[in-house]
Structure 1
């Protein structure tokens, strides 16, 4: 029988710290021992310690703050932000987000004509490749502390025989009033999944290494269940939870 491999030293460091985080030895929000202390404790170099820390960062258990050190993120602690999801209509007829946040465009929305990829075409119940209006914008709230990437897709087929054959419709949420003005009674369905961000998404959302994003797809439907538009929201997934009223 071949001898068992000894785990690499950086993995031993990662496992030691992971166990301490999960059993409460290192509480959430508290600093971990410094690279120097861990290097002496395990008899390794500081680059080896960094390899172990990198594993914990990728698992979302540790956050490294420049100039301050390494801090614990407990998987059991509650996040700082809880945001209700949904759309409601005010008494004056305006559609607003259920979380009540005032989102501001950090830049002018980018408007493009795109062809529906297979995954989005399936949700919109249109043929793949059908042309759509697409809007992309980075939005901020709470004086820039909260950030999200927001994309709106509107199939051309939804706009046939309307005034928007000649002019581009507005992006959401103004789009909801425009669709209501065309005689639609709106319904909404959301699909949520976490994933790791692409480099440009991580940069725009200011995500540290190893932090996932929340990818939300919201489909706007009419009273007959026909999809009219689709939105994509990309939100930081490190200190945020979403709530849904069922």
Structure 2
């Protein structure tokens, strides 16, 4: 397929950025200079630059030349399907064990997204407790993840420490297990979407740079039924994370195969 002039300019600039010829923090040439360099109209060069901004390579500010953004050279974290524990409590990203909240977490009462309300088993439009934090390595200048916990108000009424600024050693998961005298179980669903305005600002993302969304239900046994005590949604730049897991054999795929089974 023949590449358009805009695509050819974008390809060349992208290659220069990825090769380090235009390092992070440096400005691209002006629209006029790019047009002259690549033999295209100025408008074509500007469209190519806007394409790179949409892909997350450069930041465009009014009346300033576009600046190359810091981009990861490798995957920051590979998530697997295990939960771990250290002296602080449970954690779910082994490669991010030392990550901490980069600023004081916030908490308050708000209406959760409808799908979260459904998972919690509360009526849509009903307030829940919301705990929000921005996470990253201790020396990070910006968040690598944003995580939001949603807890039913009925459970907070039973266990007020869940709404405290600090829930104590082990955090809310330890308090929930202590209260129910039972172990938590977790179920995660991973999806992808474009970031909202808050996520763009916190994660330094372009509007069409996708985020991975890990929706985790914390389930625990109450008598004869299992209830969802908390739903956590963690959002992260899709180009910095991967999900890795072992594939288990279902009983229908057992080895050795039975006689007569294809």
Matched, 1:29 2:44: no
Deviation at 1:208, TM superposition (A): 4.5
> CA 1:242/1:225 → structure 2, altered by over 3 Å: closer, same or farther?
farther
**Structure 2 contact 128–152 (Cα < 8 Å) conserved:** yes
Give the Cα–Cα distance (whole angstroms) in 1 for the partners of residues 83 and 126 of structure 2. Answer: 30
Structure-2 separation of matches of 1:95 and 1:31: 42
TM-score by length of 1: 0.71
Distance 1:78 1:141, change over 3 A: closer
Q: Using the TM superposition, give the Cα deviation of residue 37 of structure 1 relative to its aligned residue in structure 2, in angstroms.
A: 5.7
TM-score, normalised relative to structure 2: 0.67
Whether the 8 Å CA contact 1:86–1:98 is kept in 2: the answer is no
Per-residue deviation at 1:206? 2.1
Per residue, is there more strand in 1 or in 2? 1
1:108 and 2:104 are equivalent in the alignment:
yes
For residues 167 and 59 of structure 1, the distance between their equivalents in structure 2, rounded to whole angstroms, comes to: 40
* In structure 1, distance between residues paired with 2:75 and 2:102: 23
Aligned to 1:157: 154
Secondary structure of the corresponding residue to residue 175 of structure 1: helix
Which of 201, 204, 208 is matched with 1:203 structurally? 201
Counterpart position of 1:228: 229
- Residue 52 of structure 1: aligned partner: 48
Q: Is 2:95 aligned against 1:95?
A: no
Question: Closer, same or farther in 2 for the Cα pair 1:242/1:106, shift >3 Å?
Answer: same
- In structure 2, runs of 5+ residues without a counterpart are 23-27, 247-262
Distance in 1, Cα, partners of 2:78 & 2:58: 22
Q: Say if 2:84 and 2:91, in contact at 8 Å, map to a contact too.
A: yes
Matched, 1:193 2:183: no
Q: 1:107 to 1:44 in 2, by over 3 A?
A: same
Q: 1:21: how far off?
A: 9.0
The match for 1:7 is none
Tell whether the 8 Å contact from 1:96 to 1:173 is kept in structure 2 after alignment: no
Contact 2:106 2:132 in 1 (8 A): yes
Query: How many positions carry a matched residue from both structures?
Result: 226
* Contiguous gaps of at least 5 residues in structure 1: 1-10
Secondary structure class of the residue paired with 1:177: helix
The answer (yes or no) to whether the contact 1:220–1:230 under 8 Å persists in 2 is yes
